[in-house]
Each structure stands twice: as C-alpha cells, then as structure tokens.
Amino acid sequence: ATQRGRRIHFGSGTPRIETGPFGPAGEQIAGFWLWEVRSLDEAIEWASRAPFSAGGALELRPLISAEDFGEAFTPELQQQEQRLRAQLEG
C-alpha cells in the first residue's frame, strides 16, 4: 500500500509531505506506530508534530481493508472472515 502512503520529511520549518509509492518496506522500517484515525489527513496532522530532528523522515501507510479487495472478496469469503473474527474474539 505504499502508493497510498505519505512520507513526512522533517527539517527547519513546516515538515514537507511526499506522496508514495515508496520502495519495499523491508528496506525502510525501523519501527512502527499503529494509529486509529479518521483519515490519512488526520494522521499527517498528528505525525507532523512528531519531535524528529532535521533530516528525519516518517512514513505513513494505511492498513488494507476489505474494500481494497473489490469483487475478489466474495460474500462467502466475507462470511468466513466474520466467523474467524468471532472465533478469535470468543
């Protein structure tokens, strides 16, 4: 999902926002935070306040959701996913 991601570059002044896609995650991730926000814009707003020094960068990526699979996520697969969730929660 790097094509939907954003990278925030910190320097002097307002952080600069870069739009994805980016290279493979295995070459980039040094740690992660998982946030529940209403939109990517809200995540950018929060992340822009992070106390990174000049030269630092923070990458934001949305989680994959059921809608991302389109027609491939058939009603049968949706029911199976719901059953698995119920089992894990119960």
State the average pLDDT over residues 59-76. 83
The band of 80, judged by pLDDT with boundaries at 50, 70 and 90, is very high
Weakest mean pLDDT among 15-29, 44-58, 65-79:
15-29
Would you state the pLDDT for residue 30?
66
Weakest mean pLDDT among 20-29, 37-46, 55-64:
20-29
State the average pLDDT over residues 54-80. 84
Nearest of 30, 31, 43, 35 to residue 4 by alpha carbon:
43
Neighbours of 40 (CB within 10 A): 14
Q: Structural domain boundaries of the chain?
A: 2-64
Nearest of 14, 18, 16, 15 to residue 5 by alpha carbon:
18
Residue 28 reports pLDDT greater than 70: no
Average pLDDT over the chain, rounded to whole?
Answer: 82
Question: What are the φ/ψ torsions at residue 5 (nearest 5 degrees)?
Answer: -80, 170
